[in-house]
Amino acid sequence: MKIVILDAFTANPGDLSWDGLKKLGELTVFDRTKPEELLERANGAEVLLTNKVIIDAKTMATLPQLRYIGVLATGYNVVDIEEAHKRGIAVTNIPAYSTMSVAQMVMAHLLNITNQVALHADAVRNGEWQQSPDFSFTKSPLIELDGLTFGIVGVGNIGKQVARMAQSMGMKVIAVSSKSAEMLREMGIEKASSYEQLFSEADVVSLHCPLTDETRHLVNSERLALMKPSAILINTGRGPLLDEQAVADALSAGKLYAVGVDVLEEEPPREGSPLISAPRCFITPHIAWASEAARRRLIDIATQNVAAFMQGKSLNRI
């Protein structure tokens, strides 16, 4: 069976192995694939693995041998699922592989904003503490999290872990979620009656919902106006959940204390983003998912998905 990985580099830049897939068939690995390279590289493949390379109806029509598309991620919007089903092409994804890593990044952004460890460490390295007249030297406010309210939008696998971590630091957790109030209560979470309640009450808002027509620009000027000027906004979900200009304007006007994001509307931001130059905005380059442990799980699950397909079984089938 011919297996082709179209964009392998982000999942495995060389520190891990594709040996499990090599045992399942004739494996060809490409670090990156441009749109104009897709058809030539995918030609003759029965199994295609993709992360960001788009497999649309036109592509499928030109690949008669294609039987399986494996998405090397949880989200699968890069594949025309309806067309795949029409053609009898199996499609799988990798659920829940990065839960702990993404939750950890949420806390990393939160603690960076509240404690400014890097800022103060750099100040010490630059000799500023040596010149201070006092034994304790601070360059920014330090914020204690105990007793604050942490608001979560979306209580899936990641949202649940983030809630657990926030609770461990003494924070009250409220959430907008499709889960019932009783289910949330069992996790120690209070169900918010609306987005408006959550945005107005929370000291920290963290986004963990899928990107849909309803949630695109979920954080807009109207909802930002509800937030406390001392509030912190964190987005490790999908870039378009934020109206980036509205968020940048709120930061510049002092209507929002700080923002931590791991995702932007355009990635990489070749045309720029208003958030890049916004004050008190901390951006990481879509790396929350990319710990070695998470990437190893991704490769292991991808291999299990293909093996199950070859055995006529359904595993993580969309």
What pLDDT does residue 315 have?
A: 97
**Same structural domain, 193 and 183:** yes
Q: Alpha-carbon dihedral of residues 297, 303, 309, 310, nearest 10 degrees?
A: -160
**Same structural domain, 19 and 88:** yes
Amino acid at the residue 222: E
Instruction: Establish if 7 belongs to a structural domain.
Output: yes
**Same structural domain, 158 and 236:** yes
Q: Does the pTM of the predicted model rise above 0.85?
A: yes
Name the strand (E) or helix (H) holding 224: helix 221-226
Q: Where in 96-203 does DSSP place strands (E)?
A: 149-153, 172-176, 189-191
What pLDDT does residue 157 have?
A: 95
**Same structural domain, 113 and 93:** no
Instruction: Establish if 318 belongs to a structural domain.
Output: no
What pLDDT does residue 81 have?
A: 97
Q: Which domain holds residue 86?
A: 2-97+292-310
**Same structural domain, 61 and 161:** no
**Same structural domain, 212 and 297:** no
**Same structural domain, 68 and 137:** no
Identify the segments of the chain with pLDDT beneath 70.
none
Catalytic sites, residue numbers: 238, 267, 286
Q: Phi, psi at residue 215, to the nearest 5°?
A: -95, -10
Helix (H, G, I), strand (E, B) or coil at 209: coil
Task: Round the average pLDDT of the chain to a whole number and report it.
Answer: 97
Q: Alpha-carbon dihedral of residues 80, 84, 87, 88, nearest 10 degrees?
A: -170
Instruction: Establish if 297 belongs to a structural domain.
Output: yes
Instruction: Establish if 315 belongs to a structural domain.
Output: no
Instruction: Establish if 188 belongs to a structural domain.
Output: yes
Q: DSSP string covering 241-260, please? A: GB-HHHHHHHHHTTSS-EEE
Number of folded domains that form the chain: 2
Q: Phi, psi at residue 29, to the nearest 5°?
A: -120, 125
**Same structural domain, 89 and 209:** no
What pLDDT does residue 256 have?
A: 98
Looking from the CA of 128 toward its CB, the CA atoms found within 13 Å total 12
**Same structural domain, 55 and 76:** yes
Instruction: Establish if 107 belongs to a structural domain.
Output: yes
- Please, what is the end-to-end C-alpha distance for the chain in angstroms? 22
Which residues lie closer than 8 Å to 232 by C-beta, 6 or more apart? 110, 113, 114, 203, 204, 205, 257, 258, 259, 260
**Same structural domain, 85 and 105:** no
What pLDDT does residue 107 have?
A: 98
**Same structural domain, 210 and 180:** yes
What pLDDT does residue 3 have?
A: 98
**Same structural domain, 142 and 201:** yes
Show the tokens assigned to 114. 């509240």
Q: What is the CATH number of the domain that holds 245?
A: 3.40.50.720
Instruction: Establish if 82 belongs to a structural domain.
Output: yes
Instruction: Establish if 70 belongs to a structural domain.
Output: yes
